[in-house]
Structure 1
Amino acid sequence: MQQLKDYTGSVYGGLGHLLYAYSQAKGLAISEKLEGVQNLERFDFSLWRELLTDIEQQVQIATLGLDIAEHMQPKHLGIIAYIALSCNTLGEALYRYHDFHRLVYDGSSLHVNMLGDYLAIGWGEIPVHLTTQVTHEIAIALMLQFVKHFMDFEDIHLHEVHFVHPVPKNIALYEQYFHCKVRFSQPTAQIIIPLQELAKPFPQGDQTLQHLLMQQAHALLDKLPNSTQLDHRLQRAILTGLQKNRYQIKPIAEQLGMSVRQLQRHLHQQGATYQQRMQEVRHLLAEQYLKDPHLSLQEIALLLSYSEQSAFQRAFKQWTGYTPQQWRQQQYS
């Protein structure tokens, strides 16, 4: 625990864009500090706290973190919003949020615990003196706003929301926002949700991001040869599999209604292997993602189901002779 004493962590640069958009919408003065983070991929959590405090001093409204979160768009969260497009249920989306939470909000770790018939998702381990009520408000509200973009927020029934800071005068505002009991001065900042809620389906993803991925998919399919209908289906299955991190040959063959041996035989007749086909899809998707300036290399590596950014960088250089950074710079030169 000693290592956490001076811990500050970092946040995704998109959150700086969120504060900028909020300030513009409210007619607030844009500070030099806020201007300074607009072109950063990440910045220190301590600076994030300072920026929130600056805004708090200007607006002096209750539930500021909740108010800021209302202005969130999927682009402000980066990779998590893209990954959510492949989720089928609320539970899957929340677990994905847990898995990749630190890419967006590394000010505190995120824990998931079972409490009987409930699931608790909480922020812990960071000493309270390194946080404020607003940082915890926005951490919780951003996660819920993230979900709101993929299903009707009114359909999410929380059991309780906990904050670690003292009870404010306006507790009713929090309960109106979360539609549940809100407790303060708790050991952990967390939301508690009934397990039955996790099965609720996502009727559709965010249309803007869906359109972007469809553009990428069509561009991919236009570039790859489609000698047979099976090849076309295989390309689509790999594309979907990469988004869900289920791109290995066995789940792909099952998706196509084939055995692994049948799929391997089909590819062998074309003088190809499954690994080659999968890498072709990765290569072309990588170039599509690199054209999006909002996606970092780490985020692109995750979108392509690489466990490490270095593995993606090595593969990309093998494909093109350039590092991802060099290739991206060429696109804007």
Structure 2
Amino acid sequence: PEMQFPLEAFDQLWSMAASLRVDIGLRLVDEFPPGQMHVVTHLALRCASVGEALESVVRYIRLTDADDRMMLARDGAEACLGYANAALDQGHRHNPWIVEHFYSMCCVFMAQAAGRQLPLRRVQFRAPPQAPLAAYRHRFGIDPEFSTARNALCFDQQALAWPLQTHDQYLRDILEQFASHRLPAAVESFGERVAEQLRLGWLGGRPLSLEQTARACEVSRDVLRSRLADAGLSFRQLKDDCRRDLARVHLAGRLSLGEIAYLLGFSEPAALQHAVKRWFGVSAGEFRRALTEQNASPSQRSATVPGTAHQPGRS
């Protein structure tokens, strides 16, 4: 039977499992009984090609967790599958194993369905390593990068055209209809839609201008401004709010202040320091220490952290 499972309890289960087996994120896929997979996985495996399969995962990932987001980007000869693990949960969420699990499933199931391994170029994790390096090398065939600005599984773009031996158009159409009807029906506001595009741009290393954001939202820049104004919002304020949220996420990691400042478009670390003080009321160092202590002790994650959550566009 299906049931809704609280996100915090879900993350705590992962933490407990990792305390017993540090490579759980990488190896859990090996424990799946044959054929017992989520509908999103079944749908992906019935697609015609690797590219179509990954696009379907991007479209329906919210069936596994309404807060998760995946992005498939193509850049020259490279394709990258990005994953945002509830990045906007105000920095309170600590589950570095779930992204390892998703990327492991991607590599295992696509290799089985295509009959050959994905030609990986890079694997990047926002979190530090959770298991010995040999476990990552065994799973991906290369050494990942850790404590980076994003989660990314990058491979030769030509692999997107590889046909899948598990393709079944009839089953695919049935599963697609089922998945589309079960997709979370929560209606996001236009402000949330704009904010998500801004966040995805920064997480992907491509900060969006007003013009680019409007294009991503499929409206003109004038319409974007007008619709935000109707909701009592402004593009400038939304951009600042998104910067604040992502600064909180990055400060919980191992990137230096200089790297975070660069990723968020600040001219220098001092400008980031000034913004952190304005957003959270404490210095960047103090805020980072508070987040580090919180993430190091999952049982105490309800403790107060500087910087109370804000709604998008509201300060």
TM-score (norm 2): 0.49
Mark the structure with the bigger radius of gyration: 1
TM-score (norm 1): 0.47
* Higher helix proportion (structure 1 or 2): 1
